[in-house]
Structure 1
């Protein structure tokens, strides 16, 4: 895989594929992992979108007494955190 970024791709680096999210049934096992080789700029943008969706779902879930939206918010936050963590690892590696 070519680790060189095009000028229009971004300058922060690439995700490393180490961050995981959503607990599995077995202790220490996760269901999902961030894919390595994605542009960190894009990962951070997508984490921001997920956080906004989470904020909205949380607010509506609490105001309308919809627990399923609160759980959705929890899962979206977990995904956003994994994206941010993996992008951070990629940016540190890119130094």
Structure 2
């Protein structure tokens, strides 16, 4: 005997899979937010360096996940965008 509730029971059984996907998406978002919070003190004018090394660079723009930097190699100016997680703040000279 089917009273129409059968289909709603089947869809209810599928909801946990949908919620698991949502949970994984939220978990990834939180992970990205934790990465960006490591460098919350970065602002235009901050001095930074890649965690892997390299020249000291000046921050010229900060976004949610990236930082735009400028630096000089002798008299040659350079500009690039890096993930916040790849940078560390350095003390001023």
TM range (shorter): 0.3 to 0.5
TM-score (ref. length: structure 1): 0.32
Question: Which entry has the higher C-alpha Rg, 1 or 2?
Answer: 2
**Structure showing the higher strand proportion among its residues:** 2
With a CA cutoff of 8 Å and minimum separation of 6, indicate the structure with the bigger relative contact order: 1
TM-score (ref. length: structure 2): 0.32
**Structure showing the higher helix proportion among its residues:** 1
